[in-house]
A and B are shown apart, each in its own frame.
Chain A
Amino acid sequence: MHEMGIAMQVVEIAAASIPEHLKGSRVQGVYLKIGKLSSVVPDSLRFCFDIVSKDSAIAGATLYIEEIPVTARCKSCDHHWTIDGPAFSCPRCGSATIVLTSGQELDIASIEIEEKPIGDQETV
């Protein structure tokens, strides 16, 4: 529901991540990791991203979203598993003291920048 705000943050962070010497190069892609427990809806985020990025330093970039499964580790027996239903206790020993090891991500992993043609490179 707050995809617009998220999209604004993504664009801001991505634009700020362009290294100084590549300023002005086209950003082709922005790579996000979104945990399945997160409430962000990938399709609406892409929609908002396209609107917000249009007039920014990363105009024309495509948003790539990798969805991260929810995984957990049992503190009692060290079992590690993927949670794919609404059950948050250890399937091996039944313990409820578990830690979520993934699934809550909302991270920017990387951006893909077009290499500048050789002739464009400034001399240092």
Chain B
Amino acid sequence: MEIKVVRKVLDVNNTIAEQNRKLFADKNVFVLNVMSSPGSGKTTMLGKTIGRLMPEIRTAVIVGDVSTTNDADRLAKTGAPVVQVNTDAFGGDCHLAAHVIAKAAENFDLAEVDLLIVENVGNLVCPAEFDIGEDAKIVVLSVTEGEDKPLKYPLMFRVCDAAVLNKIDLLPHLDYDKNEAVRNIVQIHPGIPVFEISACTEAGMEPWVIWLKEKVKEKHV
């Protein structure tokens, strides 16, 4: 006998994500989910970004990490409150789930936070599928990865609201076709803003920071 079920497998996660979204809306907190493959420069780029946001935009950070690295310490240097979470709570080490964010967010006084940045686990596959209750998702790609990354991970580039192409300071030393990379991103997600930056030299940071500030302010009006 066939019994109809018709439920999303990720129902539980989606429900908690909606609760998070409501909580963050009540507290006027803009939530940014930052994803990338390992080592593309999320922590470096976020450190530099937060430096340009604070104190105007009060920022807090949740860092997801598979093992203990010093990402949290590095980001705490910006003066922003930082919480590091382990990611083995949902049957794997590959992404942050909504309940992990709910728990981690308890560590902050959200009334004192305008922007909550979540540095997701370095992985271009799984985080794309897990809603955490964020307002925007971005993906960081570095020029040391293949130009065809967007074509290999279409869901990630589809779901993101902006893409950051990092480490452009290395371009002179590489045989990397930046235009092809951007073309591939836009092919997957027409119209997506792509910010070409170097987190190290801080080249190109300004347009990205302006985009983020605008997003945060949109939520506050």
Contact = CB atoms under 8 A, between A and B. Distances in A.
Chain A interface category by residue count: 35 or more
Contact of A17 (B1, B3, B123, B189): B3
A18 interface: yes
A1 B5 contact: no
A120 B195 CA distance: 66
Interface residues of B, number: 33
Interface string A71-106: 000000000000000111100000011001000101
Secondary structure of the A contact surface, majority rule: mixed
Interface in A1-23: 1-2, 4-10, 13-14, 17-19, 22
Given A1-B92, A5-B90, A109-B4, A32 B190 contact: no
A39 interface: yes
Given A107-B6, A109-B6, A9 B128 contact: no
Secondary structure of the B contact surface, majority rule: mixed
23 contacts: A1-B92, A1-B126, A6-B91, A9-B12, A10-B9, A19-B3, A22-B1, A22-B3, A37-B154, A39-B125, A39-B155, A86-B188, A88-B154, A88-B158, A88-B190, A89-B187, A97-B191, A106-B129, A107-B9, A108-B6, A108-B7, A109-B6, A112-B3
Interface of B: 1-12, 90-92, 94-95, 123, 125-126, 128-129, 150-151, 154-155, 158, 184, 187-191
